[in-house]
Amino acid sequence: MDAFYSSLRRGTAWMQSSSMMDAKTRADVACLLAAHNQAWGAGTETLAQLERLADGARAVVTGQQVGLFGGPLLTLLKAATAIRRAEDASRAGSPHVPIFWLASEDHDLAEVDHAVFPDGISAAKKTLGSDDGLRTLRLATSHARALPVGNIPLGADMAPLLEELQSLLGSGPAYDLLAACYRPEATYAEAFGRLLLRVFARHGLIVMDASSRPFHALARPVLRTAITQAAPLREALLERSRTLEAAGYHVQVRVAESSSLLFLLDETTGARVALHLHSGEDWKAGGRAYSTAALLDILEATPERFSPNALLRPLMQDALLPTSAYIGGPAEIAYFAQSQVLYERILGRVTPILPRLSATLIEPEIAHLLERYGVEWVDVLDELRADTGAVSLAQWLAARAMPVEGKHRLALTGEALDRELTALTAWMESVDADLGRSAQTAASKMRYQMNRMRRLAANFERERAPSLRRHAAQLRQHLHPTGHLQERVLAAAWFLQRDPEALASLLVQSAEGACDRHHAIRL
């Protein structure tokens, strides 16, 4: 994979990465960032970071779609990693600031209009609130799905949704914070940005919504190249796709013969529609035809009507920012295997990409269950990956919860049986090969019956202790909900309910060092 990831850095070399950003663009970007960070309630540390950016500091950047209530937990993990890398570089003598790019131009509302929470498994409530023990809060909206999500107002339906959120989190700092950010009159981007600014206020996180005309005007060179060089850029991507697939890798973005790197916002409806280049200078978007000259005229007059696709977006970002490194998850790192050819042709450099912190947060209640059954969190994850059913996990827990005498007798019997069968079948094989094969078959049946005795004992224990099913379901919904890592499913808001500031500091601290494996963080 090295050929596809010359930009994947795990050491400290990224701190010395150079940026081609000119002084005027830096000043303009810093001014625009200061305006909307201040408007969204940025604290003193963020304002200080903005001054450092204006004075020449470089940036560690990450980003995410602007999801309801902060999106999934991985939002916080990305922000914490960017902050930690920027702090590390600054301590090493290379001034850096952390910037969170809001993917507000994305138009897939269905991906961001909901948040998933654990629902009601506790000592007080003995039953699951739903089939999988999760509750999804979804914001109803009348807006078309093709609109850029960031500018969509949350609307009047936010009020009853906040009431439902309060029933899950209870009253306290986390609910107050979310209610203050996710007001009905706020947009998705504003609410999301306000939340990140508040949660990471002590660490000076800067948020960036680049969907406005001024930012797009500054990004004109990249957008213009995507128009005027559409055919050769597409060919480079097609060739990279073929190379990746020939090497046995999955292509994240399918590139067709008519693909381009841009969407165009309809001037009447605001809908985001893909631009296709059919031949020569013949472009089409949403059933309308455009010439290259016509698109360049639109770019000059209203550059905000052009929206980059997933492969071009990081290049637009790095044309606007003095980026030393981008913090990405597994999917984004995979995108960079394709984007690399665009970086080389458009910017003449490739931004280093660093993996984000990947972690399962273990709440005190879950830690208590792990200790009660004498199991490690990673063993529970392994068991759930093997079979996501709570009944299977309950049986696995039951085997660990049965009386010591029972476990001891089963272990002794199983070990003795296996030892004697191994010796016996070896002797029979030495006497005659056919006899040995028959002995192996018979021994296999005996081992099966021994395992059946283990299952019978575990099943009895499971039926005798109904709490086992509840505890298994609780572990499943918190550690591996819907068969996925917690960070990709559970809402960031769920983990803020104890102390948002303390959680932010814990995550930043936990992002120390290389983030090349999955961690457990105890709350």
Give the tens place of pLDDT for each residue, 317-352: 999 999 999 999 988 888 888 999 999 999 998 899
Burial annotation 468-488 (CB, 10 A radius, 16+ → b, else e)? bbbbbbbbbbbbbbeeebbbb
The verdict on residue 246 lying in a domain is yes
Does 281 reside within a domain? Answer: yes
Q: Is residue 462 part of a domain?
A: yes
**What is the pLDDT, as a whole number, of residue 462?**
66
Measured CA to CA, the distance from residue 113 to residue 111 in angstroms comes to 6
Number of structural domains found in the chain: 2
Query: pLDDT tens-digit profile of 455-481?
Result: 776 667 666 767 788 888 889 889 999
CA–CA gap between residue 164 and residue 162 (Å, rounded): 5
- Best CA proximity match to 219, nearest among 32, 16, 15: 32
Distance between CA atoms of residues 147 and 167, nearest Å: 31
Which residue, 459, 479, 499, sits at the end of a domain?
479
In this structure, which amino acid lies at residue 522?
A: R
Query: For residue 278, is it within any domain?
Result: yes
Backbone phi, psi, residue 265, to 5°:
-85, 125
Query: Residue 243: inside a domain, yes or no?
Result: yes
Low-confidence stretches of the chain (pLDDT beneath 70): 1-14, 16-20, 120-132, 143-145, 280, 387-391, 457-459, 461-463, 465, 514
Residue 425 belongs to domain spanning: 389-479
Residue 474 lies in a domain: yes
In whole angstroms, what is the distance from residue 313 CA to residue 299 CA?
16
pTM equals 0.87
> Would you say residue 512 lies in a domain?
no
In a domain, 465, yes or no: yes
pLDDT in tens, 84-111: 999 999 999 999 999 999 999 988 898 9
CA torsion, points 489, 334, 86, 203, in degrees to nearest 10?
Answer: -20
For residues 44 and 41, give the distance between their C-alpha atoms in angstroms, rounded to a whole number. 10
CB distance 319 to 221 below 8 Å: yes
How many DSSP H helices and E strands does the chain contain?
A: 20, 15
Please state at what angle helix 377-386 crosses helix 467-479, rounded to 10 degrees.
90
**Could you give the percent of the chain with pLDDT greater than 70?**
90
Mean pLDDT, the chain, whole residue set: 88
Rounded (5°) CA angle 217-222-228: 110
Predicted local distance difference test score (pLDDT) of residue 9: 54
Spatial distance between the Cα atoms of 485 and 495, rounded to a whole number of angstroms: 15
Question: Which residues on adjacent β-strands are paired with residue 353?
Answer: 8, 326
Q: Give CA separation, 57 vs 93, 217, 323, in Å.
A: 11, 23, 10
